[in-house]
Structure 1
């Protein structure tokens, strides 16, 4: 997760720590920090949650870099921001975001949203396609 807001990082960590201790959540404070961490790690994340408004490098610039790099291009990127501006949503999808989610204002809303993200982007992604939609004989 790349987010400059310490409270948001703490809340997301709390949701994962409470519900899914098997998930390792790594935090970056902005887009530049995210790209540095990707470059320095020998492991590829299963998912990136990306805020838009951050110092040094915003989420749009980070998304451009991620989609331009063949090593990171296939990592699902979910924009996770307070913005719900139509122009931000359109630009995020034009740049290759997989999803655009507006941060909820309550902890219970955040917990529900993170649960849905985990179910769709992490849990279902691990299930073989023939289990989700078996082929007919």
Structure 2
């Protein structure tokens, strides 16, 4: 059983287990971290070996709390943008990772973090922004 299979088996919530399995199978980038949040409470459902080796438990907890606060800042309903419908996801592209937040209610949802390999939309836009420098 490889790391991905072990991570999938360790997830207790059947829906989240299915999500982690699907992400491992269908997303090109490596899944680094996944957690469900409700208010300020959270349940980490996946931590890659790379992330586990990179951070102490306390550092990882702080990182998750930071991502949680970002997630809580993006509720599924945005009053001033009501005509767009519900917010399904917020995606943040960093140099090294992609952070995706999927709110499912006012104060709950799922956060996933992937290694960033390529992102044609972001990379092309950044290329054109760099041309002016």
Larger radius of gyration: 2
Is TM-score (shorter-chain normalized) higher than 0.5? no
Name the TM-score, length of structure 2 as normaliser: 0.32
| Structure with greater proportional strand content | 2
Name the TM-score, length of structure 1 as normaliser: 0.32
